[in-house]
Structure 1
């Protein structure tokens, strides 16, 4: 039994895989004013389609749908099977509120009621 696949068949499988990843992923990366779909995201980086996405570098923003998730400093890693992989040099999660610089007691009163 052989595990050899003809080149045309292998390329067809890669294209089908990329099309499926593009349909199912809601993630996208923003560079300047342009958005590009993210095929996969993992702890150390992410992957985009090599053919339609220009070479990225520097500071980018990652979005999940319409929600801003991360601000990242990236560097190109490698290209394989139709996707370009990037690694994070820095990956900062975006917070909804400003960080507190003091301790807030969970049992503290929410407001002060005065008697008039």
Structure 2
């Protein structure tokens, strides 16, 4: 039995796999005011579709739907067929509040109430 697959069939299989990844993924990468679909995300990087995404470089933001996940400094690693792989030089998790420079007491009041009038 031969394991040879023609280029046309291989291209169709890649296109079907990319379409499935795009449909299943809620992740997107934003560079400036443009956003692109993230196909796969892991600890050290992510992939996007080569055809529909220009070469990205520099500071980008990664979102899951409307939720901001990371602000990242990226570099292009290599193309893996129809996917372009990027690696993080720096990845910072997004926080809704500014970091504290002191340890907060767990029994501290949440707010101070003024005198009753």
Q: TM-score, normalised by structure 1?
A: 0.92
Structure 1 residue matching 2:98: 3-state secondary structure? coil
Q: Which runs of 4+ in 1 moved over 6 A?
A: 113-116
Aligned-partner Cα distance in 2 for 1:111–1:92:
30
Unaligned runs of at least 5 residues, structure 2: none
Shift of 1:113: 6.6
- 1:6 Cα deviation (Å)? 1.2
1:48 match: secondary structure: strand
Q: Distance in 1 between matches of 2:110 and 2:33?
A: 41
Match of 1:97 in 2: 97
Give the alignment's TM-score, normalised by structure 2.
Answer: 0.91
Q: Does 2:76 correspond to 1:87?
A: no
For the structure 1 residues 99 and 7, does the alpha-carbon distance in structure 2 shift closer, same or farther, using more than 3 Å as the test?
same
Task: Give 5+ residue unaligned stretches, structure 1.
Answer: none
Match of 1:25 in 2: 25
Q: Structure 1's 11 and 105: CA in aligned 2 closer, same or farther, altered over 3 A? A: same
Taking the TM superposition and a 5 Å limit, the aligned residue runs for 1:32-43 are 32-43=32-43
Please, what is the CA RMSD of the aligned residues?
1.7
Q: Secondary structure at the match of 1:89?
A: strand
1:14 paired residue number: 14
